[in-house]
Structure 1
């Protein structure tokens, strides 16, 4: 209650006293930098009255009388007087607390006294009647000068802003009718609701400072509240548009002032979580029965096998040697091993398998009786052994001859429909029945109850796969698969429309097959079970430079994001100057002169070469076909950042799980080369955290004013850009030859100035000077020798004969060879960890990136791995360039290199770039006509 002030009961508690105690309550030290609602009800008035020495019966009359007195005993002049004195306070320095808080508090009190509607949890009724009663005013309708309170609310919020949160921040907006809406806005969101909003911010993956759109956040909030049973949920789904808009306005204000840690709501885990070091992991091994359709498609045999599903963070290399798998096959986080027909006893006994030097252990409990039911709920199209037996469902019962008598008697006793089936890889010692467990009382089951649990069938909806971009949100082009478990012949509704019926009661439905075309919320419902998901394709691109923190490169002190260089280029020497047929090359420490062959004529801005000559085939029309890689990159853009597991999930959905390791490597490599995504390696593993880079442009070496677009994008953002370019700039597209490379987007201006003027009006960063981006970037990069001198010493891993596989780089085959004696070696294990070490001439062992190590070894052996002819640079396959060197070359053409005849071919590369790049790498160029 606070401290009670001893007061003579007959003394007058005047308006100033009430105004002061209200201000201390709402704007005190405890609310500094917090969001404050002037929520005033009778209980609060009584609590504050106690501080003023009033009892419960005195508080309300005293407060209302004090406000009436503010009009100099003319209650109908209260709002005019409050406006006059409030304006004077505001214009004369805002000294002390606002003098009109008592008046505003009474307007809110009137809103709380409106007739309640318990069903939706908010008041409704005649506001002005309640307000007049509190002021003891006769008549009806809006009191005189009440409209001036709108300005008082403005004075309040401005005072708080100018004091930078010292007195909190009050969220005031028009909720409902004019003038009435402002006090009513203070009653909409209560403290308990704010707790729910903070929980929602974490649920939606938001963090302080991001730009959010009202429509997008409304869809997210609808999903979030669809599973809640609380006041805020009842309000939101009241189907009153005004209430929904009020909640969204309140939410946006809360979010704008949210610091990410309010009111003890803990985040459910960072979007980019720290990778847990590999520890020995133990998993239970189960049995599954599959149909072998390869042997006979129309009458497939059944075969028994072991299987285990490991955690998503246990992603192994696909090149695992078979001897390490103990006979298991590995794919997509699943281990499978067929039971050997000569070792049927193995399923009766408890045993375990140890893989990868005891890093993984699979334990099988064994037994002489197993129940199986369908694995639909976990996304497996097979019979899975379980410890629960579900009434009303079909089951397979696998049992040994030892318990055959008991099982057959139990089946007959209960009258279960049954049929004997055979398992192709089991001997006659094992029997198998398919039985229908009815829903009646099951008798004679005492011998089963120690090992199995009998349960009723439960309705269940499970969602998996698809490209998930938020909580319960997927791309419309990549919806989830919906697994449904229910009773037979159940009708499934989508948005209250009957869509199909499940004859068997279990199935997995691919939402893509429903051909949904609208971006909106979809509610899947049957019986009393429902799930709500959001499917949409019209996402905004919300990645901006103001929210983005570029990664720290080992390339000197360079700060770069995509094709935007933060640093001043004047801090770096120009790498190339030409006089006649002589090239003068420079780095920060060295310089040299090279003779240019007379047949080389590849200037960056050659007047005889237009944009059509850069080596790209431009599409005649803007394509509307969505390629898998473009869908995948849109998925990354919407998610903004993530860990390697989220990256792999997207790759699997778009390109399939076959050769997932190689596919993900190719996709990662191309997105990095082009400056679309930053990847940060997770320790010594083959996993990466990723960040989509904000949209930027790169000026290209072309006689025509041409740039190419890099960084995050969605179809919606490209459509918006296209609409802005009409009549000013020409938007060009080109489909790369590689299926793993996103669509290339270029912008062509009539003049350089027209492009500059256009981009100055957009939030797209660019560097524009005398040169072009690839030359500017090359100017900033360290030499290959700088990488070597900055590398740290690193000891050779222990256990190289058991835990690690060691390979050396062979300069003749340009490949890694196991146990090859080479200065450059990689050390890899089955969990995707790899370390690249180089032994220098003075016997120091240093740790390098593989690309740098291979180039340095080639440099030391004076191998020429580069070839050049006019505007075409070839790099021998097997020799990747450091990440930013790759970006130097890809930004010349806006596409990744083409692989041809053992080389990676980079197009539209000016000679000054090719020669300067080779000099920085310390590698000689072979020239071709």
Structure 2
């Protein structure tokens, strides 16, 4: 006769079965070293119950009764019993699965059963009501010993850590009411949400290992969720501070354990150069503008042809007129006024071939056009469209052939209008400013064939400004907000009415609103709302651990700004002195030079302190942020980018006039100083850029002073000053050039105190007997090594009209078109150029412009360098290789000043000047 199993024993078996299957579900091989939330809902219980052979209808009852049975004969004490068994398991070496997982799972299940909502929030009483219901416990409030579950959660995470992630990692934290917050933390981020978080990490530009504080994460996550309709966004915006804090803690935990994978990289792959050179085709539109420059109070109205090209198509500035067919090019737009006697061209479809057939602009033609304001395109003028919108002003432009159609239609709808005169149109064309009312538009068969009649749609777009992230701008450089809506609409910012749009269409420069706080701003009108983040308090998140420096010319030197990775002792010392004789060395050559007696420019001259370096120091912060410092902060926050993002920043900070030349000057100075690395994009005049991590350069001075290089923000500089206190003196200087960032120096009482301070902040530096300029110079190749490493290149044929050819003239020190010279540069309308040098044995070498000009001048014995104590002059027109420039700027922490045909570098010791001249193959001429 078989022994019967009692009902109590069945319940005990059921608990063990439920506990085991829950453990196998959450702590399996698939979740090894991953984040595991104990998210348990009714669907999961039914799913696991089916594996135990329990029907869906019975699964919940079976699970709850099994947990109830864990209290043995006293279900009110289930949490005490769970704690006792859990403590025993923990003290005996945490062997096997935790015995209390089913109990914790039920506490999470109760949280998923709560009936709270966004308005009411989540109340603890509501939670305990659900928990008691699942356990069939009488009474109200917190069950006996429920507080012990806090210890059980800690046992769980300790077990996972002890096993080094074999069973995953569970993120447990408390928010809101005590004890209830722990099971609730398992309900915030579900498996289905994790992919959304990976998308967010990439969206926010985060990388594994960065230190991100909770406030910054909150700002970014709020921006990200503001455009999402999902479970997490509903939770986050439910006005409960506790839930928001809990979600941010969960996001931070996810981020700390994120390995950078599991998300798709949306960045585009590099475009093949040949693909870039294929002819591009764009549409032309009519554009009407007021010419206020000629007469502000009574401006003429003129008509032109207008086209916007893709932002990734960057043309060179100051293109030849014959290449443009009369068009003016500026910042990715082409514009051409219609000539008075040729306005009949508007009737017909025609096109213009520009830039040696590399670009085609096509105008469709017609005898009737409707134009809207170009606010949504960031244009102040009127642009022809294919729609007629209720409640908007339009300009109707038509020839005599279409006049009857237009005027009949206006009369039919009883629109208000007035005649306007276009100064460069003949009398065969008419122009009316038409006020289209908000009522339904009555059409005509002819107009409905050509145009779409539509209602006004609320629209908000953001343009310009210094954008540093997704929907994030610098507070000092906010965007312009273009709004299209119904007339007399009130615009709210953070629920405060700020203005009313009389005409229902305008562009608002947020800088004129005088927003002062670094925070999220919600711009709202009618039923539309956009959220943006404006802030100035960004931290500098660029670190050496994630930075990959580019390789330089000899393929060996590894350097980031003013920090050299290489072992310096592997390079020969470039300079030794015995009496009045200097011994100069490179990798494979050496020589000696007599030092003139009037030269006395030792690097650590005891009679020359840091105040004699040629820099005007100031202990006070500038009262106003300079454009270049704002631009560099913009680059630092973005960390890296392409030439388009670089030019956008240049345009906002310095204006669009001569933008190409301005960008060249800024790029040159940021590179010279070791702030930013630039990598040329093929043969184009575009560059990819990477801001370099913060490091320092030891300056040649008797005082322990260093120059700060690499990325920085106002917030990181403020923090640096806070750390310095009285130990280190931080001084700064405003350079002479508008295109050069503020110079920041650290001055210590002793070298040891300065070294200790830098080590405390983990700022990289090369420390030894020498200073940075000397260390860098000893690592650099001689000029002939650049030439020996150059590749041969086939010179373009002389009958190829695609290229404009210029030769270098050693007399004027300029490029001259069609100049017969062994050094030539080939340019085209797309801003591409190649520099070629033809050697004496008829080899054609492809060189950089800097190397090519120096090599040509060296062979011809041209004198380029002049020196007197601590001052080196280089003839203008001859730039040094990038790292040679950095050798000289790192002597003083500033770029050279220009004057009298030379660039003047200050605080340059004689050993640097003569060694540099030797490596480049030039004589150093001395000035008395």
Normalised TM-score (structure 1): 0.95
2:641 maps to 642
Question: Helix, strand or coil: the match of 2:371?
Answer: strand
Range moving further from structure 2, 890-899 or 477-486: 477-486
Mapped to 2, the partners of 1:840 and 1:91 lie a distance apart of 82
Task: Give CA-to-partner distance per residue, 1:780-826, whole Å, 9 cap, x none.
Answer: 11111111111122222357631011112111111111222222211
Range moving further from structure 2, 212-221 or 155-164: 155-164
Question: Helix, strand or coil: the match of 1:449?
Answer: helix
1:764 deviates by: 1.2
Gaps of 5+ in 2: 1-8
1:523 deviates by: 1.6
1:208 maps to 208
2:3 maps to none
- Kept in 1, the 8 Å contact 2:11–2:65? The answer is no
1:4 maps to none
| Structure 1 residues 707-786: aligned runs within 5 Å | 707-786=706-785
- Kept in 1, the 8 Å contact 2:390–2:440? The answer is no
- Kept in 1, the 8 Å contact 2:486–2:503? The answer is yes
| Structure 1 residues 855-894: aligned runs within 5 Å | 855-894=854-893
1:24 deviates by: 1.4
Mapped to 2, the partners of 1:23 and 1:608 lie a distance apart of 76
1:47 deviates by: 1.4
2:166 maps to 166
1:224 maps to 224
1:845 maps to 844
- Kept in 2, the 8 Å contact 1:309–1:334? The answer is yes
1:696 deviates by: 0.9
1:111 deviates by: 2.1
Question: Helix, strand or coil: the match of 1:170?
Answer: coil
1:38 maps to 38
1:624 maps to 623
Whether 1:266 and 2:264 are equivalent positions in the alignment is yes
2:381 maps to 382
2:182 maps to 182
| Structure 1 residues 41-440: aligned runs within 5 Å | 41-90=41-90, 94-117=94-117, 125-138=125-138, 140-262=140-262, 266-269=264-267, 277-440=276-439
- Kept in 2, the 8 Å contact 1:555–1:782? The answer is yes
Mapped to 2, the partners of 1:272 and 1:510 lie a distance apart of 35
The verdict on how the C-alpha distance between 1:701 and 1:56 changes in structure 2, with shifts beyond 3 A counting, is same
- Kept in 2, the 8 Å contact 1:111–1:123? The answer is no
Range moving further from structure 2, 919-928 or 407-416: 407-416
Range moving further from structure 2, 123-132 or 834-843: 123-132
- Kept in 2, the 8 Å contact 1:622–1:732? The answer is no
1:6 maps to none
Cα RMSD over matched residues?
2.2
1:187 deviates by: 1.2
- Kept in 2, the 8 Å contact 1:522–1:532? The answer is yes
The verdict on how the C-alpha distance between 1:849 and 1:693 changes in structure 2, with shifts beyond 3 A counting, is same
Task: Give CA-to-partner distance per residue, 1:272-327, whole Å, 9 cap, x none.
Answer: 99886332211110001111223332211211110101111111111211000011
Mapped to 2, the partners of 1:700 and 1:473 lie a distance apart of 38
Task: Give CA-to-partner distance per residue, 1:391-430, whole Å, 9 cap, x none.
Answer: 2222111111122223222222332222222211111111
Mapped to 2, the partners of 1:470 and 1:32 lie a distance apart of 33
Question: Helix, strand or coil: the match of 1:577?
Answer: strand
- Kept in 2, the 8 Å contact 1:767–1:773? The answer is yes
1:88 deviates by: 5.0
The verdict on how the C-alpha distance between 1:892 and 1:246 changes in structure 2, with shifts beyond 3 A counting, is same
1:485 deviates by: 1.6
The verdict on how the C-alpha distance between 1:421 and 1:602 changes in structure 2, with shifts beyond 3 A counting, is same
Whether 1:535 and 2:534 are equivalent positions in the alignment is yes
Mapped to 2, the partners of 1:356 and 1:269 lie a distance apart of 30
Mapped to 2, the partners of 1:909 and 1:29 lie a distance apart of 63
The verdict on how the C-alpha distance between 1:821 and 1:215 changes in structure 2, with shifts beyond 3 A counting, is same
The verdict on how the C-alpha distance between 1:547 and 1:350 changes in structure 2, with shifts beyond 3 A counting, is same
Mapped to 1, the partners of 2:14 and 2:47 lie a distance apart of 17
Question: Helix, strand or coil: the match of 2:491?
Answer: strand
Mapped to 1, the partners of 2:240 and 2:465 lie a distance apart of 33
Mapped to 2, the partners of 1:116 and 1:47 lie a distance apart of 26
Question: Helix, strand or coil: the match of 1:220?
Answer: helix
1:85 deviates by: 4.4
1:447 deviates by: 1.0
The verdict on how the C-alpha distance between 1:59 and 1:395 changes in structure 2, with shifts beyond 3 A counting, is closer
1:361 deviates by: 0.7
1:928 maps to 927
Task: Give CA-to-partner distance per residue, 1:132-181, whole Å, 9 cap, x none.
Answer: 44445555544444333323323323333444443332221112222221
Mapped to 2, the partners of 1:770 and 1:191 lie a distance apart of 57
2:662 maps to 663
Task: Give CA-to-partner distance per residue, 1:193-248, whole Å, 9 cap, x none.
Answer: 33332332232222333222211111112222222233222211122110100010
1:3 maps to none
Mapped to 2, the partners of 1:605 and 1:65 lie a distance apart of 84
Task: Give CA-to-partner distance per residue, 1:86-119, whole Å, 9 cap, x none.
Answer: 4554455544333332222122122223334376
Question: Helix, strand or coil: the match of 1:172?
Answer: coil
Question: Helix, strand or coil: the match of 1:483?
Answer: strand
Question: Helix, strand or coil: the match of 1:788?
Answer: helix
Gaps of 5+ in 1: 1-8
- Kept in 1, the 8 Å contact 2:40–2:105? The answer is yes
The verdict on how the C-alpha distance between 1:724 and 1:696 changes in structure 2, with shifts beyond 3 A counting, is same
Task: Give CA-to-partner distance per residue, 1:661-702, whole Å, 9 cap, x none.
Answer: 000000001001101111111111111111111111111000
- Kept in 2, the 8 Å contact 1:328–1:336? The answer is yes
Range moving further from structure 2, 9-18 or 533-542: 9-18
The verdict on how the C-alpha distance between 1:708 and 1:398 changes in structure 2, with shifts beyond 3 A counting, is same
Task: Give CA-to-partner distance per residue, 1:854-892, whole Å, 9 cap, x none.
Answer: 111112122221111100111111111111111111010
Question: Helix, strand or coil: the match of 1:377?
Answer: helix
Mapped to 1, the partners of 2:69 and 2:309 lie a distance apart of 74
1:822 maps to 821
Task: Give CA-to-partner distance per residue, 1:552-590, whole Å, 9 cap, x none.
Answer: 222341111111111211111111110100111111211
- Kept in 2, the 8 Å contact 1:121–1:234? The answer is no
1:46 deviates by: 1.9
Mapped to 2, the partners of 1:868 and 1:412 lie a distance apart of 82
Range moving further from structure 2, 96-105 or 736-745: 96-105
Question: Helix, strand or coil: the match of 2:340?
Answer: coil
| Structure 1 residues 407-486: aligned runs within 5 Å | 407-443=406-442, 445-486=444-485
Range moving further from structure 2, 278-287 or 96-105: 96-105
Mapped to 2, the partners of 1:66 and 1:297 lie a distance apart of 86
Question: Helix, strand or coil: the match of 1:888?
Answer: helix
Question: Helix, strand or coil: the match of 2:608?
Answer: coil
Range moving further from structure 2, 94-103 or 886-895: 94-103
Mapped to 1, the partners of 2:27 and 2:491 lie a distance apart of 53
Task: Give CA-to-partner distance per residue, 1:635-669, whole Å, 9 cap, x none.
Answer: 11111111110000000000000000000000001
- Kept in 2, the 8 Å contact 1:120–1:235? The answer is no
Question: Helix, strand or coil: the match of 1:96?
Answer: coil
1:76 deviates by: 5.0
Question: Helix, strand or coil: the match of 1:260?
Answer: coil
Mapped to 2, the partners of 1:714 and 1:506 lie a distance apart of 36
Question: Helix, strand or coil: the match of 1:37?
Answer: coil
Question: Helix, strand or coil: the match of 2:311?
Answer: coil
Question: Helix, strand or coil: the match of 1:664?
Answer: helix
Mapped to 2, the partners of 1:906 and 1:80 lie a distance apart of 78
Question: Helix, strand or coil: the match of 1:914?
Answer: helix
- Kept in 1, the 8 Å contact 2:391–2:487? The answer is no
- Kept in 2, the 8 Å contact 1:399–1:431? The answer is yes
Mapped to 2, the partners of 1:618 and 1:803 lie a distance apart of 51
Task: Give CA-to-partner distance per residue, 1:22-49, whole Å, 9 cap, x none.
Answer: 1111122332343221011222122111
The verdict on how the C-alpha distance between 1:343 and 1:870 changes in structure 2, with shifts beyond 3 A counting, is same
The count of corresponding residues between Structure 1 and Structure 2 is 919
Normalised TM-score (structure 2): 0.95
Mapped to 1, the partners of 2:807 and 2:631 lie a distance apart of 35
Question: Helix, strand or coil: the match of 1:126?
Answer: helix
